């Protein structure tokens, strides 16, 4: 499975501009129900990422005014990017090795394609686990999953 398989069905790529106020960024995150978004410059080039943690740690915890601050002032600039061709396993490894929860997806022309989150990877792992867990039929005819077999024996 590749990154493109995980994000391919998404219809919208969430991003804000560097000039977006931190207040607007926080509202955008809430509206879209996401934890982070890409930040692009005037030419549409990805320049950073802003997360709920950035807003909490760099604005709220410092008692700064989110209306007067720009996304570019608090965004993370050290970007960990992947390509649509990268494998599921390599993406998971990159997150683990770098201690991040999101990977920025750039195509071969460095255009921002969206984000891959740890939640995306966990959904795949959970579905894969479900498919591999053997089931059996109990004496009373009920379907038992492997985890419940021990308690019924």
CATH assignment at residue 83 = 3.10.580.10
Report residue 29 as tokens: 């995150």
Position 120 confidence tier, pLDDT thresholds 50, 70, 90: confident
pLDDT over 70 (residue 139) = no
pLDDT above 90: residue 58 = yes
41: number of CA atoms within 13 Å, CB side? Answer: 6
Instruction: Output the pLDDT for position 150.
Output: 45
Q: Which of 134, 101, 97 is nearest to 118 (CA)?
A: 101
132 burial via Cβ count (<10 Å: 0-12, 13-18, 19+): exposed
For residues 29-52, average pLDDT: 93
Cα–Cα distance between 102 and 105 in angstroms, integer?
10
Q: What total number of domains does the chain contain?
A: 1
pLDDT, mean of residues 88-107: 90
Range of the domain at 32: 3-152
Given pLDDT bands bounded at 50, 70 and 90, which one contains residue 136?
low
């Amino acid at each position: 499975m590749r990154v493109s398989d995980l994000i391919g069905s998404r219809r919208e790529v969430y991003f804000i501009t560097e000039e977006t106020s931190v207040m607007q960024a926080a509202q955008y995150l809430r509206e879209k129900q996401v934890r982070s978004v890409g930040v692009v410059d005037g030419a549409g080039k990805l320049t950073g990422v802003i997360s709920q943690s950035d807003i909490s740690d760099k604005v709220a915890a410092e008692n700064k005014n989110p209306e007067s601050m720009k996304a570019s002032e608090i965004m993370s600039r050290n970007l960990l990017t992947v390509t649509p061709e990268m494998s599921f396993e390599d993406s998971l490894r990159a997150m683990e090795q770098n201690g991040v929860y999101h990977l920025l997806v750039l195509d071969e022309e460095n255009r921002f394609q969206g984000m891959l989150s740890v939640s995306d990877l966990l959904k795949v792992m959970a579905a894969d686990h479900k498919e591999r867990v053997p089931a059996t039929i109990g004496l009373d005819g009920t379907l038992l999953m492997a985890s419940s077999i021990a308690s019924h024996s």
